[in-house]
Every structure is written in C-alpha cells, then in structure tokens.
Amino acid sequence: MRALTNTGLAAADRLWLPGLSHAAVASAAWPVFGGAACIAGLLLATLASFVVYLPLTALALNGGGPIAADAPAPAMTPLARVVLLGLWTATAWGSAALTAG
C-alpha cells in the first residue's frame, strides 16, 4: 500500500494520485445530498480506500504477493483505475445517500 500511495511533489513522472479521485467523487455528492452527507461519504470512502480497496489492488497487481518496501509500485492498469473509481463512487454516494436518508 505504501508504494501505491507514496506520492511526493518530486514524483513528476507519477500519473495517478489515489487520494484525489475519491475526494472528487465524494464532493460531487454535495449539491445532491448536502454538506453533512457529503462529508460522511468522503470519510467512509477514505476509510474503505486505504483499509480495503488499495491494499487489495496492490495485491492483485503484484500477483497476490506483498510489495517489498524497496520495490517500485506496480503499474496501475486502466481497468484497475476504472474499478477503483467505481468502488469509490459507490461507497461515497451510497454512504451519502444513507446519511441523508
């Protein structure tokens, strides 16, 4: 997980920052469900992302094995990005809907 989320400002060749996508889809719920539900969706999407989604993605992209501390991050495939975005969207919007309801 550290390899997928280690995105410093010096890493200009890095094409994907995991934190921005789930924050963007959670923020899109603001006009629909309101501020409190949007924040609840963002918090749940963040928790699910770093506890479940990113570790499972790292395992899947690394052939089921853990990533060594000195190993480079596995390349994110387009399909992995789409799946993660779908999971983040469903988590953020679903929890916002449950909170608002």
Domain membership flag for residue 14:
no
Q: Does residue 1 form part of some domain?
A: no
CA-CA distance, 38 to 18, in Å (whole number)? 19
Domain count along the chain: 1
Which residue range is the domain that position 86 belongs to?
20-100
pLDDT in tens, 30-64: 999 999 999 999 899 888 888 888 888 888 888 88
Whether residue 90 is contained in a domain is answered as: yes
Q: Is residue 68 part of a domain?
A: yes
* pLDDT for residue 16: 46
Residue 27 has pLDDT above 50, yes or no: yes
SS3 for the chain is CHHHHCCCCCCCCCCCCHHHHHHHHHHCCHHHHCHHHHHHHHHHHHHHHHHHHHHHHHHHHCCCCCCCCCCCCCCCCHHHHHHHHHHHHHHHHHHHHHHHC
The burial class, CB within 10 Å (0-12 / 13-18 / 19+), for 11 is: exposed
Distance linking the first and last C-alpha atoms of the chain: 34
Q: Residue 75 — pLDDT band, cuts 50, 70, 90?
A: confident
Per-residue pLDDT band for 12 (boundaries 50, 70, 90) equals very low
